[in-house]
Amino acid sequence: MAAPSLDVVVVEITNANNYSQLSHSLRTFAPNDIRDTILAGPLTNGQDPLTVLDIAQHTVGVLYILSARFRTKVNLPTLVYLETFCQNFDVPQAIVASEHVVYLARNLQDIAESTDSPKQPLTCLLHLVSRFPPTPSHLTPIHPIFIAGCVTTGHFEVALSVLQIPITEIDNLLGDLHYNDNLVYHYAGGMAFAALKKWEEAEEFFEICVSSPAQVPAAIQLEAYKKLTLVQLISRGTTAAVPKYTNNSLVRLLKTSPYGSFAKAYPQQTGTLRKIVESDGALFANDGNTGLINQALERAPRRLIKRLTSTYLTLSLAEIGKNVRISDVEEVRALVLKMIEQDEICATISADDTVTFSDPPAQFSKTEIDQVLAEAQNQAALFAVLNRDVGKSKEFLTKATKNKDEWGGPPEEEIYAGGNVGAWMEEA
């Protein structure tokens, strides 16, 4: 039996009421190669079927046509059309053809990474990842595609609106979600946060990737562990233990690697640190971690100075330089002044080059104070409700009347009248 023409297929798309049945029909009306050739072609009169079909009303049909065009590389859609589609597709229909939504996302990522102007395809992906899931907290196969595209093209800020929403939900109806999607999403998200120097968020994302359960850890988890180690050194000055459920082989591999040696020597052994960087620079560069290594090295003297503040009240610039392995006093002065300006330490430098450390003054903004007061008022209101409910409870009243003589409590009628139980208990 001959395959139907595209004209017949378009009629079926425009008349469809059951989108699951339509999806099945579009998937099976002809063998794969013939089907894609038909769907990627024009109508009999030469008209483009995408100009006939309405994006919102015929989302399933449009998705099948777009997939065929991407596979055959024939009549490829313009970015303008793709952006219009991503802004206007019908979500319930898109869920029926979720594998084609994911395929569209992968092609948009390829376009973004192969063009000098990746912003528009990334915008298309942002529309997809924002509109396709039922809530922003759902993880879909589109999430790692979008974040990886942002990282690869260096558009880290574009990813923030998605990364800042915690992932709490998974629904298999939104696409064939794999274990690796979770790893890629959090690894790429950690890279985006690290590039923006949002160290706390980067640490969280890398740690999720590293500690995700696995009988045999994935290579990407080891790469995330390397970056997690460097991010912690930059932000904390030391490393923190990963969760206990992290695969032990990852911990062993990191510990015996140059990254483990670097972390062990950090920040005191500056000479050792530089030797590690010189001998393993090619490895760090191949891992894409040269930037993080350099930032950690640059911050090592700062970490040492900060540690001095917890031990000494005063030190000369020369003594500080000796502790941080910087012989140039003026370089030490500039570093201390920069740390003071950036509120990393609270200190003053006298005319004789003596540095006096002090505790930073407590500073609270009006907004912070208002928030604390509002929270206190809320807690007081909750306690009042709890106090009233306890005073009315049968169990409490029974015990109170039974032991009133021993407690020296109020008259029985006061208890049953719902008196101020809290005040009475305070007096007792």
How many other C-beta atoms lie within 10 A of the C-beta of residue 254?
A: 20
pLDDT at res. 378? 82
pLDDT at res. 427? 38
Q: Where are the beta strands (DSSP E) in 128-172?
A: 138-139, 169-170
On whether the CB atoms of residues 49 and 6 are closer than 8 A, the answer is yes
Preceding peptide of 267 cis, ω within 30°: yes
On whether the CB atoms of residues 39 and 30 are closer than 8 A, the answer is no
Would you say residue 94 lies in a domain?
no
Instruction: Extract the residue ranges of the chain whose pLDDT is less than 70.
Output: 1, 362-364, 393-394, 396-397, 399-428
Among 287, 306, 325, the domain boundary falls at: 306
408 Rama class: left (phi>0) / alpha (psi -120 to 50) / beta? left
The Cα 68–Cα 210 span in angstroms is 37
Does 271 lie in the same domain as 208? Answer: yes
pLDDT, tens digit, 9 for 90 and up, residues 310-343: 888 888 888 888 888 888 888 888 988 988 888 8
Does 344 lie in the same domain as 403? Answer: no
Tokens of 342: 């950036």
Question: Residue 172 carries which DSSP code?
Answer: G
Would you say residue 344 lies in a domain?
yes
The Cβ-side half-sphere exposure at 351, using a 13 Å CA radius, reads 0
pLDDT at res. 408? 52
Domain containing residue 253: 180-187+199-225+232-306
Among 289, 306, 323, the domain boundary falls at: 306
Does 294 lie in the same domain as 393? Answer: no
Does 213 lie in the same domain as 260? Answer: yes
pTM: predicted TM-score of the whole model, two decimal places: 0.78
Would you say residue 250 lies in a domain?
yes
Does 281 lie in the same domain as 319? Answer: no
Would you say residue 302 lies in a domain?
yes
Does 381 lie in the same domain as 353? Answer: no
Task: Give the total number of structural domains in the chain.
Answer: 3
The Cα 293–Cα 285 span in angstroms is 9
Helix (H) or strand (E) holding 396: helix 394-402
pLDDT at res. 422? 39
The Cα 182–Cα 90 span in angstroms is 26
Q: Where are the beta strands (DSSP E) in 233-286?
A: none
For the chain, give the mean pLDDT. 88
Would you say residue 135 lies in a domain?
no
List Cα–Cα distances, 348 to 36, 324, 375, in angstroms.
73, 18, 37
Among 286, 306, 326, the domain boundary falls at: 306
How many other C-beta atoms lie within 10 A of the C-beta of residue 364?
A: 9
On whether the CB atoms of residues 26 and 38 are closer than 8 A, the answer is no
Question: Residue 210's closest CA among 234, 189, 183, 188?
Answer: 183
On whether the CB atoms of residues 259 and 226 are closer than 8 A, the answer is yes
pLDDT, tens digit, 9 for 90 and up, residues 85-139: 999 999 999 999 999 999 999 999 999 999 989 999 999 999 999 999 999 999 9
DSSP reduced 3-state for 331? helix
Does 204 lie in the same domain as 272? Answer: yes
Does 393 lie in the same domain as 327? Answer: no
* Sequence-ordered list of residues with C-beta below 8 angstroms from that of 123, at least 6 positions apart, any chain: 83, 158
Does 326 lie in the same domain as 302? Answer: no
